[in-house]
Amino acid sequence: MQLQIMADRSKTTSRGFTLLELMVVLVIMGILATQVVTAFTSPATKVKGAAFNMRSDFNLARAEAVNRNSNILVDFVFDTDLDGDGDADDGYWICLDDDDSSSCEAGDTTIRKVTLPDEVEFYDTDYTGGPAVEPGGGSLTVEDGVDFTADRFAMQPNGTSNKGGTVYIYTPEPDGTGMQVPPYAVVVSPTTGRVRLSIWKTASSTWSTK
């Protein structure tokens, strides 16, 4: 009799999930999945990711310059098929300037080639809805979003940069009349080679260092 009671209890406590419980779990999983997809595909995530990746790439160029005891160029390109997919994109080419031409070319040792992700562009100051000042103060007058002389710079063996400058990136509205999210600025110091990020605070019209 006692064995029979224990068996009956076991059947009662191991009945599994009901259909309603399973449906609730599936709904919750669907909501979480949607949030994850939205987070990774949102304009804010794309421009932030591009900015942080750019900072990492510039720091990579700095480390390579020290390790190789040679200048490493960061050469910006515009409307160029940099990754070989047939599309004209904006981006940058990091290389060892083997032929001393002061630009990245086919014969140079490539460290990295990077195209900006979809929806992310170099900031065009002809557009009037965003920042008009530089992170360090002064008027932002660069027109292609790359504030380096000749649109390139070099990290040097002593860990410094041969020139200072800033790269501005943002995500424009589809019709080109505004910004979807605040832009980022990637700033390179010539004296230290340090790379830092700033984000535009629309409410206060100022740059905030990340």
Its pTM stands at 0.79
- Residue-wise pLDDT tens digits, 92-102: 999 998 888 88
The pair of three-digit structure tokens given for residue 47, joined into one six-digit string: 């421009």
In terms of CATH architecture, what is 66-209? 3-Layer(bab) Sandwich (3.55)
Tell me the chain's radius of gyration from C-alpha atoms: 25
Mean pLDDT of 134-145: 88
pLDDT at res. 39: 42
Q: What percent of the chain has pLDDT over 90?
A: 49
Residue matched to tokens 């600025």: 185
H or E element that contains 45: helix 43-68
For residues 139 and 132, the answer to whether their CB atoms sit within 8 Å is: yes
- Residue-wise pLDDT tens digits, 23-60: 777 777 766 655 554 445 588 999 999 999 999 999 99
Cα–Cα distance, 9 to 85 (Å, whole number)? 65
pLDDT at res. 43: 84
Cα–Cα distance, 98 to 95 (Å, whole number)? 8
Residue with the larger pLDDT of the pair 34 and 115: 115
Confidence of residue 189 (pLDDT cuts 50, 70, 90): very high
Classify each residue of 101-114 as buried b or exposed e, where b means 16 or more C-beta atoms within 10 Å of its C-beta. Answer: eeebeeebeebebb
Q: What percent of the chain has pLDDT over 70?
A: 82
Domain definitions of the chain by residue range: 66-209
pLDDT at res. 154: 96
The pair of three-digit structure tokens given for residue 80, joined into one six-digit string: 């160029």
The pair of three-digit structure tokens given for residue 103, joined into one six-digit string: 């630009």
Phi, psi dihedrals of residue 37, rounded to the nearest 5°: -60, -45
H or E element that contains 56: helix 43-68
- Residue-wise pLDDT tens digits, 78-91: 988 887 888 888 89
Confidence of residue 207 (pLDDT cuts 50, 70, 90): very high
Phi, psi dihedrals of residue 81, rounded to the nearest 5°: -80, 80
pLDDT at res. 183: 93
